[in-house]
Chains A and B, each alone.
Chain A
């Protein structure tokens, strides 16, 4: 029995009836799936059938915290959302930092399920006084940061945690995100789902304490874990994740000009040292994080002076590398625009890079683009396209639909869409790291470097793997995915996880101190069960082995230059890794888990 970490309750909000209920969450669900991503996926499977339209009232936003969310430990900031994605049309798991998850727990809830569709624009205020459905008519077209400030000023208090959507979500951008303060549920379009529900924002204020099984033990763990995190992640504080830009470019596997090459001649002006010298103001940290990996940057002069944002590696790699843009001032401005409109920076960068390549190939004309000439490297065009996408204007409205819809509207351009299952690539060239190719292919939500398993470190630094070889990559990707799945279910940030013993060989007594139950020896098994659960959902939604492949460019075009010159990953080579991966997961050759086969048989039997 749990004596801390969990509250045992979820808040269910019906927007249609402007009504809420409080429901118990059975302990058995936490025992099986831990929390966060795992428990959100469980409710998704139970409550969302395979035919639910992502933009219909039947879709749900299922938010869950983990047992460590909000506790006095390093970076206990994470909470998860599961929903049907309007970008990919399938299951989506997405996570965010910020204070809202911790505050939700302080209000007494492990999870929040939002369903139905409001008859009028609303925002939710979750306070000690209950749940209020407040009118948001005046807030709808405010940008996300302005909406967050307006909601704070309107009701639940200046210290409330607020998540809100920006104009992009209302302008049918299928990869619109939910901004949580200055963090976000970035990928997959959860913001577009929120707009379809007529919900502009959710505000939660902080009250009460989260129960802990052994508070004295947790208090003793904190300083050790914080010191460990600070020391091992010193470069994250100094440079953030953008420290990887020059490393990936050195290795010839940076994301360049829509993945046509792995070496970017403009990388020097995106590099950490250049950025620190010319743009960095300070490092910043999320809730209870001793590391502080966000790099707040500003443009001090020139036409973009005054722009402020904190671009991470992925944003630099997509708005920069993928679009061929080497002007870091434009990346700061582009990131800020995305935060204001509420757009996923990674997807928008990949979509613009695709449009640039198609234009250069003559597949789009000025007539299509509303007069814009799209060329790789044109920072002004990159910024203008973000604006048009956010506003839902002209060609921007077309690009806002995402790759799945674009492939239907412009089938001749489909070969230049770098995505898996409708979700755009992250900023790593998969021909430079074969493990990343498998990670993109088998991730539960499409081409994702996190959910898919970030293989770069293992393929590069351990000496255990050759990054251009197939051997062992199925095992590696499975192990990293299982690890990530349990981390995503704990409620902590992956950057600090090893400081508390949460690796692929979990150890330590953090969970025992927090919950009173020692999950630790079972964590990798729980991670594996979560991946099986997600695959069961995906298969139910029509995903097959064919959906686990990458775009043909990866299989047919060798990298043209740099250290990875001539590297290619043929479909036959990829099949070897995919078969190993399926075999280790005990899925059949079609990628179907046994649990789904049994479930399908029951459905067929009626």
Chain B
């Protein structure tokens, strides 16, 4: 098992009412699988709509890489709503 911190900002924080939580996950889990879990848990459409995005360790990652990106113990995933215009 690995421990991954999932943080929420923007609309995801409003909807979950949570700033951050630590999840215990299977050691071979990918970012794509974690996104699937979050989508199911919160009825989100991360990866399927342009409303929410995930960052891995503070960096954006192309969606096609999510399924191949294995999470490591201590990783941090940030879920944020879309931003546009300053």
Contacts and interface: CB of A to CB of B under 8 A. Distances in A.
A505 interface: no
Contact of B82 (A428, A461, A495): A461
Given A241-B86, A495-B85, A246 B59 contact: no
A244 interface: yes
A250 B60 contact: no
B86 A247 contact: no
A21 interface: no
Interface residues of B, number: 24
A272 interface: yes
Interface string A453-467: 010110111111111
A243 B10 contact: yes
B81 interface: yes
B55 A460 contact: yes
B82 A235 contact: yes
A426 B80 contact: no
B10 A494 contact: no
Interface string A216-258: 0000000000000000110100100101101100111000000
Given A241-B85, A241-B86, A247-B80, A466 B11 contact: no
B9 to A, nearest CB: 4
B13 A235 contact: no
B9 A246 contact: yes
A412 B14 CA distance: 45
Given A243-B10, A246-B13, A273-B13, A463 B86 contact: no
A88 B85 CA distance: 25
Contacts of B3: none
Contacts of B55: 460
Given A460-B60, A462-B60, A463-B61, A273 B86 contact: no
A273 B14 contact: yes
A449 interface: yes
A532 interface: no
A457 B83 contact: yes
B68 interface: no
Contacts of A272: 10, 14
Q: Which DSSP category, helix, strand, loop or mixed, fits chain A's interface?
A: helix
Contacts of B70: none
A251 to B, nearest CB: 6
B13 A456 contact: no
A233 B83 CA distance: 9
A75 B46 CA distance: 29
Contacts of B10: 235, 243-244, 246-247, 272
Interface in B39-86: 50, 53, 55, 58-63, 65, 78, 80-86
B7 interface: yes
A466 B59 contact: yes
A235 B14 CA distance: 11
Nearest to B63: A463
A3 interface: no
A247 B10 CA distance: 6
A465 B58 CA distance: 12
Interface string B14-51: 10000000000000000000000000000000000010
A260 B9 CA distance: 23
Contact of B53 (A233, A426, A454, A461): A461
Given A250-B7, A250-B9, A272-B14, A494 B58 contact: no
A250 B12 CA distance: 13
Nearest to B54: A461
Given A243-B81, A462-B60, A463-B65, A456 B86 contact: yes
Contacts of B53: 460-461
Given A250-B78, A273-B14, A460-B55, A244 B83 contact: yes
Contacts of B9: 246-247, 250
Contact of A449 (B80, B83, B86): B86
Interface string A440-452: 0000000001100
A494 B84 CA distance: 9
A494 B86 CA distance: 9
Interface in A365-421: none
Given A247-B80, A273-B14, A461 B86 contact: no
Contacts of B84: 233, 457, 495, 498
Nearest to A252: B58
A463 B62 contact: yes
A323 to B, nearest CB: 19
14 contacts: A233-B84, A235-B81, A241-B85, A243-B81, A244-B83, A250-B80, A252-B58, A272-B14, A273-B14, A461-B53, A461-B60, A463-B65, A467-B58, A467-B60
Interface of A: 232-233, 235, 238, 241, 243-244, 246-247, 250-252, 272-273, 313-314, 426, 428, 449-450, 454, 456-457, 459-467, 494-495, 498, 563-564
Interface of B: 7, 9-11, 13-14, 50, 53, 55, 58-63, 65, 78, 80-86
Q: Which 7 A-B pairs have the closest CB atoms?
A: A463-B62, A454-B86, A449-B86, A250-B9, A463-B60, A247-B9, A461-B53
